[in-house]
Amino acid sequence: MADASVKNGHRVGNGTPADKARIWGGIDLGGTKIEAVVVDARGEVLGRARHMTPATGGPGEVVKELYGTLDEASRTAGVKPVKLAGVGVGVPGSVDANTGMLSHTANVAGGWDAPYPLASDLGDLVGGSKVVLGNDVQVAVAAEYKLGAGRGYRSVLGVWWGTGVGGGLVLNGVPWRGQGSAGEIGHMVAKPNGARCGCGRRGCLEAYAGRACMERKARAAAKKGEKTVLFDIMREKKRTRLSSGVWASALKQKDPLATRLIERAIDMLGATLASVINLLDVEAIVLGGGLGSRLGPLYLGHIQDAMHPHLFITERKPAMRIAELGDLSGAIGAALLAGPRM
């Protein structure tokens, strides 16, 4: 592969692939960003691009930005989207893979509840390339299982801690999707009748650990007069949201509000992860997502400590790993969903 380099532990190149019929596109749709890649049959990245997710405008604007990001990644790889053998899209929410419908999402462009034909609409823009959908975390976990931190384990729980809290499972070497929405650890009840979640229910793990919910809590506290540097850092970084980098900077400065909210999130993560381990007894947990990748190296031990009191078999703890493919795991996993098999 021409001009290859290494990024986040994965080879990235910007040369033109020799066999254009053997390349696939992958798109990771997140609450704040869209990541697109073009990969070959070995899963090696030939081109990539990142755009911001539209904050408003609904699914139509999101589809336009998905295509724009894929188009840029394809041009970086030296091809046009129409030449791709297939395109996979990892999306947050419940997916009907057979119809290409995104049934529900809470964290993208204000959220929408009505089923939306995302695969069909994106396919019209791409032209010639089949578009398939998968849950964003499920495909990211599949990529980590095949190419990253999950290698060497037969059973893996992936937890993507970011705008929301998503999960994905590989059980005995097989991705477990249930009826299409398995792995939604963020919507397991961490506290009955607890805090309101973005999904409308109460007490979900995501209501305590999701970046969007933590931001709402931080804004409410600041409005009541609680001192914090979170929003000063946000403005200094020219962000409109409390990104993972903003949280990391505030924690480094030992901001009391940021510290309290992260510690609360870790307590809830620990209890919920332990409950999953008690049920499924998987070999390893892979932590990814914006907050997971950014804070994981520092807080992984804290999460393990928070799990310990709730584990049924404390002497056999699961291995804890940070996602190795970084920001690219979701997009690579989506591309794998579209065709290449490792």
- The tens digit of pLDDT for each residue in 249-285 reads 999 999 999 999 999 999 999 999 999 999 999 999 9
Poorest-confidence range of 17-26, 45-54, 67-76, 138-147? 17-26
pLDDT reading at 336 higher than 60:
yes
Tokens at 297, concatenated:
């190296």
pLDDT (mean) for 327-332: 92
pLDDT digits (tens, 9 = 90+) for 105-114: 666 766 666 7
Based on the domain organization, do 334 and 214 belong to the same domain? no
CA distances from 206 to 39, 120, 329 (A): 32, 30, 21
Has residue 181 got a pLDDT over 80? no
Distance CA 279, CA 194 (A): 23
Would you say residue 156 lies in a domain? yes
Query: 154: Cβ–Cβ under 8 A, 6 or more apart, which residues?
Result: 170, 172, 173, 283
64 assigned to some structural domain: yes
286 or 199, greater pLDDT: 286
- 256 and 300 in a single domain? The answer is yes
Give the CATH number of the domain where residue 161 resides: 3.30.420.40
118 and 71 together in one domain:
yes
Phi/psi of residue 44, each to 5°? -80, 140
Does one domain contain both 333 and 298? Answer: no
CB atoms within 10 A of CB 247: 26
Q: Are residues 112 and 200 in the same domain?
A: no
Is the pLDDT score of 7 beyond 70? no
Tally of domains in the chain = 2
Write down the pTM of the prediction.
0.83
CB atoms within 10 A of CB 317: 14
131 and 175 co-located in one domain = no
- Strand intervals (E) in 92-211: 94-96, 101-104, 131-135, 156-161, 165-171, 174-176
Examine the domain organization and report whether 13 and 104 are in the same domain: yes
What integer is the mean pLDDT of 35-51?
A: 94
Confidence of residue 310 (pLDDT cuts 50, 70, 90): very high
Residue 146 falls within a domain, yes or no? no
Print the domain residue range for 107. Answer: 5-140+328-338
Tell me, yes or no, whether 29 lies in a domain.
yes
Pair 44, 105: CB distance under 8 Å: no
Whether 27 is in a domain gets the answer: yes
**120 assigned to some structural domain:** yes
DSSP letter string over 261-287?
Answer: HHHHHHHHHHHHHHHHHHHH--SEEEE
In this structure, are 174 and 319 located in the same domain? Answer: yes
Mean pLDDT of all residues in 192-220: 95
- Say what the pLDDT of residue 212 is: 92
Of residues 205, 265, 246, the one with CA closest to residue 32: 246
**Is 292 or 95 the better-scoring residue by pLDDT?**
292
Task: Please report, rounded to a whole number, the percentage of residues in the chain having pLDDT higher than 90.
Answer: 69
Average confidence score pLDDT of the chain: 89
The mean pLDDT value for 166-175 works out to 93
pLDDT of residue 98: 75
128-132, 193-197, 203-207, 275-279: the lowest-pLDDT one = 128-132
Under the banding of pLDDT at 50, 70 and 90, the label for residue 103 is: confident
Residues 96 and 180 in one domain: no
Answer whether residue 186 is part of any domain: yes
The closest of 98, 106, 87, 33 to 334, measured between CA atoms, is 87
Higher-confidence residue of 7 and 204: namely 204
Are residues 253 and 199 located together in one domain of the fold? Answer: yes
pLDDT score of 311 more than 90 = yes
User: Are residue 255 and residue 157 in the same domain, yes or no?
Assistant: yes
Whether residue 45 is predicted with pLDDT greater than 90 in this model: the reply is yes
End-to-end CA distance of the chain: 18
Residue reference for tokens 């384990």: 153
Q: Do 331 and 27 contact (CB within 8 A), yes or no?
A: yes
Tell me if 33 is assigned to some domain.
yes
Residues 156 and 249 in one domain: yes
Residues 303 and 307: their CA atoms lie apart, in Å, by 6
Torsion sign across C-alpha atoms 194, 198, 199, 204:
negative
